[in-house]
Structure 1
Amino acid sequence: MRIANAVRPRLARAVTAAGPRIARLAKAVRPRSSHLPRPRTVRTWQYTAGAATAGLALAAGVVTVAGPWDANGQRTAEGDRAAALERSGGADHGRPGTEAGARPAPSAPPVLTGLGGVTSAVGPRKGAGGGQALPDVLAPFLDASALGDGHAAAVVDLTTGERLYGTGAGQALTPASTTKIATAVAALSALGADHRLTTRAALEPDTGEVVLVGGGDPTLTARKGADGWASLRTLAAGTVKALRARDVHEVTLSYDTTLYAGTAQHPIGVNENIAPVTALTADEGRTDGSAKGPAVRVDDPARDAAAKFAALLEDAGVKTTAPGPSKATTRAETLATVSSPPLSALVERMLTNSDNDIAEALARQTALASGEPATFEGGARAIATQLRKLGLPLSGASFHDGSGLDRDDRLTADLLTALLVKAADPGHPGLRPVLTGLPVAGFTGTLTDRYTDGAAGVVRAKTGTLTGVNTLAGTVVDTDGHLLAFAFLASGTTDAQQAQSTLDDAATALAACGCD
C-alpha cells in the first residue's frame, strides 16, 4: 500500500521517538489464520516487535477528509480541525480500475498491526500495568468534570470477548458520529462488502429522451482526475459514444431520483456539513470545488449533477435541453454506466473521514435492501432491523438517521463495543471494513492531529462531536498484546476541547495498561 509523502516522515519520526514504548504498545496481534479469533473463545496470538512501523505505514493509507458536525448546524472543534487538513489522504481503498478493486475487504489484523516479522506467542492477560485494576486506571479520566453530567464507558477484550470494564454501559446517550459504526455494520450486513452503486444514462425508445438515473452513489464526481471513484465525465463520454453510434446529436435530457423517497433535507436543516440526500448527486453538492470539510451546498444536488452532465455532453458535441426531473421507464435502454467502488471502500471512507453524506446514503441503501422506504425514517428502521438480526444489544437504542447528526439518536456503550466485536468475528468477514476504516490516532482522518503526544498509531477510533456531546469508540492494543474494543460517551460537556482531550487520555491510558 502506498503512503502519502506528507505522512511518511511523520511515521518515521513517531516510531523513532517512541522507540521501545511504541514497539511494546503495538505488539502486532496476528492470529495464525487470516481472521481474528472468535469472540468468547481464547486463542493464542502472535506478535512482532518490528510490526509497529509496518502497522503505522499500512494505517496511513486511509483517506482523510472531513469530520462530523454539530446537529444545530454549528461548526464543532472536530469539524474545524478536519477542515483544516491540507492533504486529501491515502492510497488504495480497492477502487475500480485497479487489481485491488476486485479483492474482498482486507482482514483486520494485517491492517491493524502490520505484516511479517519474527513471531512469538502472546499469552493470557498478565497485568503489565503493575497489577492495577482497570477501573482504577480509567476512573481519573472518565470521572473528570470535563465529561459533563453524564457519561458511559465499556471495554471488551476482542481476543476472548470478555467484558473488562463498564460504567453506565447500558445507558443510552447521544452518540454523535459514532452512530456511523452502526450504519456501517448494518449496510455491510444488508448489502455485502462487494456491493456497488451504479449511475446510468438511459435512452427512452419512444421519445428519444436521455435520462440520467441516480443509483444513490454519494461518491460520484464531476472533477477531473476522479482517482478511481465513479466519474460523471466517464459516464458522459460513454453516453456520447453510444449516441453517436445511433447517429444522435441532439437529445432531450432529464434526470431520475425516484430511487429515494421522502424529504431530502436532514432534520438539522440547511447546513454546510451535509447536502440534501438524493439518489443523484455529484461531489456531494459542494459549491466551492472542495473535496472535504464544510462547504456551502447546492439546494438541489440532482439538478446540479444533471446540469454538469449536460455541459459535458455539450462539450462533446451533443446538444441537450435544460434537464428536468423525470422517471425512466422499464423500456429505457442503458447507454452507459459508472459504478462506485465496493461498499467496503465506501464504509472505510465514511468512517475515516466521518462523511455525513455517505452515511445517509448508506442508511437509505440499507433501507432498500431491507424492504423499507428509502427515507430517513426507513433508513433508521432498517439499521435497527439489521443489527437485531445480528443479535446485538439494542436495549435503549434509538436511530433517527445514519450520520449521527440528529441529536435524538441514542446508543449505549454496550452496543458500540458489541458492534466492534461483531466486526471482528471471523463468522462475519464482510464486516471487516468497520475495523479497517477506523481513523488511526495521530495519522488519518478525524484523528490526524490527535494523540500526537499519546498513543499515536496504537488507537484506532471513530470520533463524535456535537455541542455538549463528545464520544469515542474503537480499538486499541494494550501492553499485553491484546486487542481491546472500547466506547466512551459523554453528554453535557461544556468545553469540547477539554472533553475531547480527556477521552483521548483515557484511550491512551488503556493502551499503556496491561491491567488486571
Structure 2
Amino acid sequence: MAEPVERPTDEPLNRWRGWGGWKVPKYLKRGNGSDAFGLAAGSAVLGLVVAAGAVLAAGPWDSGQRKAERDRAVVQQRAGGAHHEGTAPGAPEPAASAPAVLSALGTASGTAPAGASGLDAVLTPLLDTPALGSVRTAVVVDAATGEQLYARGARTPMTPASTVKIATTAAALSALGPAHRIPTTVTLSPDSRTLTLVGGGDPTLDEAALRALAADTARSLHDSGTGTVRLAYDTSRYSGPALHPIGPNENIAPVSALMADEGRLDTSDRGPAPRTDDPAGDAARTFAELLDDAGVGTRSEPVSGKAPAGSRTVATHLSKPLSALVERALTNSDNDIAEALARQTALKAGEPASFAGSRRAVTARLKALGLPLAGARLADGSGLDRADKVTAGLLARLLALAAGPDHPELRPVLTGLPVAGFSGTLGDRYEATSPATGLIRAKTGTLTGVNSLAGTAVDAQGRLLAFAFLASGTTSPADAEASLDTLATALTRGSR
C-alpha cells in the first residue's frame, strides 16, 4: 500500500485580499551582519502581514515570492552549472533589530527561555505526549549564535519523511547555486532528418514550454529549409531505476529526465494525482503535436533514442532558477522536484543521476558543509523512502546554517518553508488567532507512523530559532501534527 504524504492545500487567498496594497518597509529589504536577526525580523513582519498579501499574491514559487527576503538574502558569489544567471552584487545593509520590529508590531517582548535549562521545562512535557509515538527526538538552535538551546536524542537517526527535502534542496543549492537553470533542448542531426527532444531533468516543464520549444524549432528548420523530420526523445541524462522504491504511486511519477507537468494526468499542480507510467513518451507525443501545429511534420510516432553524434541544438528551454524550484519543492512538498534536484546534484558531482548516485552526491555535499552526518542515510531526495535516516541535530544545524551569513546560497531553503497558517502544507495547521501564526516556517513530514516538523520560529525576544522535531510510532497523524505544532508554538511564546 502506498505511503501517505502531505496533501498540500490551496492557500487561503480570500481571507487576505485586503492586504494586497501593503508596502514592504525599506528596513525589511536588507539584512544586517548577523543574517539570522534580519530573518527573524522578516519572519515576524512578513508572516503577520506580507504572508497575508504579497506572498499569496505572488504565488509560492513565483519569482516575486517573499521579495523582501530575497532582496535581503543577496547571493555573494556566482555559482554552479552551465546554465545560470548573474547575481546581484553588494553586501547586506544594517536593518532594524528584531526586538524593535516585534515591538512595533505590538508583540510583547517578554523573556524567552535562557539556554537549554529554560526550554527544558517548556518542551520536555510536550515531547512526552503519547500522540508523538514511541520515539521522539528534538533539537533547538539559536540561528544567530549557533548555540544549541535544547536537545533530546540529537544524534538518534530517525525516518524523517518529507523533512529530508531540507537536506536535498540545501545540497542542490550548494552544488549548483540558486541561479542555475535546467535546460531542455531540441537537436537536429547532421543530415537534418532527425529531431531529438533532449530531457535535462526539469520536472516543471509544461505544455507552454513545449509549445515555445516547438515554435523556436519550427523557425530554425524553416530558416535552414528542412522539411519533414523523424522525432526522437533522449532520456539518457538519468540512469538507474525510474520507479521509486515505493512503487507506482500518486505521490510521484517515474523519475525521468524528460517529463511534462510532473507526469500528472489531471490539471493539478501539487499534491497526489494520477500519474502516467511513461512520462517521457507522453511529453514527446505532446511535442510532436505542437510541432505539427507549428508547421513541422513528423514521419511517425516519436521513438526513444540518443541524439545522433554531431547534432546541433536548434531550440532550448531553461527552467526557472533553482531557487524557485527549491521554494516550490518545500512549500508544496513536491516529491518530483525533490528527486530531480537530487539528480542534478549527482550530475554536478560526476555521479550517475540515479537513486544511488544521488545519495552519494547529496551526502558528500552536506559533509562538505560541515554538518553532522553520523547515522545519516539519504536513500532518496523526497523522503518517501523509509530507508532515509537523519538526526534532529542534522536538520536543525542545516537550518541554522541557511540562516547565517556564510552560506547565502542556501537562503531559499528558508524562504521556501511553508508559513504557519498561510501557505503550503502549513496553510491549514494554525488558526488565524494562534500566537504562532506567521512566526513559524517549517517543513512537514508524514508517513504512516512517522511525523516530523523542522524549520524556524521567532521567539519572544525576537531571536530566530532553528528546530527539528522527529517522531516515530505515531498512531494518529492528526494528533501527532497537533502535538508538533504545539511544540513549535511553545518556541514563539517562551517563558513569561
TM over 0.5: yes
| SS of residue in 1 equivalent to 2:341 | helix
1:248 equivalent to 2:226? Answer yes
Would you tell me which structure has more helix in proportion to its own residues?
A: 2
Match of 2:475 in 1: 494
For 2:274, what is the secondary structure of its paired residue?
coil
1:9 corresponds in structure 2 to 15
Contact 2:44 / 2:458 at 8 angstroms: preserved in 1? Answer: no
Would the alpha carbon gap of residues 387 and 109 (structure 1) be closer, same or farther in structure 2, given more than 3 Å must change?
Answer: farther
What SS is found at the alignment partner of 2:49?
helix
CA distance in 2, matches of 1:217, 1:408: 26
**Deviations along 1:281-337, whole A, 9 cap, x unmatched?**
000111123222211111111111000000101122221121011111341111111
Question: CA–CA distance in 2 between the matches of 1:444 and 1:48?
Answer: 13
Q: Which moved more, 1:421-430 or 1:305-314?
A: 421-430
For the residues of structure 2 that align with 1:474 and 1:313, how far apart are their CA atoms?
45
Corresponding residue number in structure 2 for 1:20: none
Matches within 5 A, 1:22-421: 34=31, 37=34, 52-54=48-50, 56-60=52-56, 63=59, 92-93=64-65, 104=87, 127-128=111-112, 133-206=118-191, 208-222=193-207, 224=208, 231-320=209-298, 321-421=300-400
Classify the secondary structure of the residue corresponding to 1:443: coil
Aligned residue identity for 2:450: V
- Following superposition, which runs of at least 4 residues in structure 1 exceed 3 angstroms of deviation? 8-13, 30-33, 42-52, 54-64, 99-111, 116-120, 128-132
**2:413 maps to which residue?**
434
Cα pair 1:63 1:349 within 8 Å, conserved:
no
Q: TM-score, normalised by structure 2?
A: 0.83
Distance in 1 (CA, whole Å) between partners of 2:178 and 2:295 is 39
C-alpha displacement of 1:54 = 3.9
Q: Unaligned regions of 5+ residues in structure 2, if any? A: 1-9, 20-24, 75-83
Q: For 2:17 and 2:495, locate their aligned partners in 1 and report how far apart those are by CA, in whole Å.
A: 25
C-alpha contact 2:39 2:403 (8 A) present in aligned 1? no
Deviation at 1:208, TM superposition (A): 1.6
Counterpart Cα distance in 2 of 1:276 and 1:346: 19
Secondary structure of the equivalent of 1:182?
A: helix
| Distance change in 2, residues 1:8/1:295 (3 Å) | closer
Asked if the contact 1:214/1:257 (under 8 Å) is kept, the reply is yes
> Quick one: which amino acid aligns to residue 439 of structure 1?
P
Encode CA deviations 1:40-96: one digit per residue, 9 max, x unaligned. Answer: xx99997999764246544435745xxxxxxxxxxxxxxxxxxxxxxxx8673599x
- Any idea what SS the aligned residue of 1:397 has? coil
Give, in whole Å, the separation in 2 of the partners of 1:45 and 1:262. 42
Q: What is aligned with 1:503?
A: 484
Instruction: State how far apart, in whole Å, the 2-side matches of 1:109 and 1:511 are.
Output: 27
Looking at structure 1, the residues matched to 380 and 45 of structure 2 have their Cα atoms a distance apart, in angstroms, of 42
Match of 1:79 in 2: none
Q: Distance in 1 between matches of 2:92 and 2:386?
A: 31
Check conservation: 1:478, 1:512, Cα contact below 8 A: yes
Amino acid at match of 1:187: A
1:425 Cα deviation from its structure 2 partner: 2.1
On the 8 A contact 1:63/1:352 being kept in 2, the answer is no
Separation in 2 of the partners of 1:45 and 1:322?
A: 55
Matches within 5 A, 1:473-492: 473-492=454-473
Distance in 1 (CA, whole Å) between partners of 2:400 and 2:153 is 19
Deviations 1:472-502 (A, max 9, x none): 0000101100000000000000001000000
Q: How has the CA–CA distance of structure 1 residues 59 and 487 changed in structure 2, closer, same or farther, with 3 Å as cutoff?
A: farther
Give the secondary-structure state (helix, strand or coil) at the position aligned to 2:138. Answer: strand
Tell me, in whole angstroms, the C-alpha distance in 1 between the residues paired with 2:318 and 2:50: 32
Give CA deviations for 1:170-196 in whole Å, capped at 9, x if unaligned: 101000000000001100111111110
Question: Cα distance, 1:205 vs. partner?
Answer: 1.1
For the structure 1 residues 514 and 330, does the alpha-carbon distance in structure 2 shift closer, same or farther, using more than 3 Å as the test?
Answer: farther
Deviations 1:458-477 (A, max 9, x none): 10000000000000000010
- Describe the superposition over 1:407-445 as per-residue Cα deviations: whole angstroms up to 9, x where unpaired: 010000000011111111211111110010000011111
CA distance in 2, matches of 1:109, 1:147: 43
State the superposition RMSD in angstroms.
3.5
Q: Is the 8 Å Cα contact of residues 233 and 312 (structure 1) preserved in structure 2?
A: yes
Local SS of the residue matching 1:383: helix
Change (3 A) 1:475 1:221: same
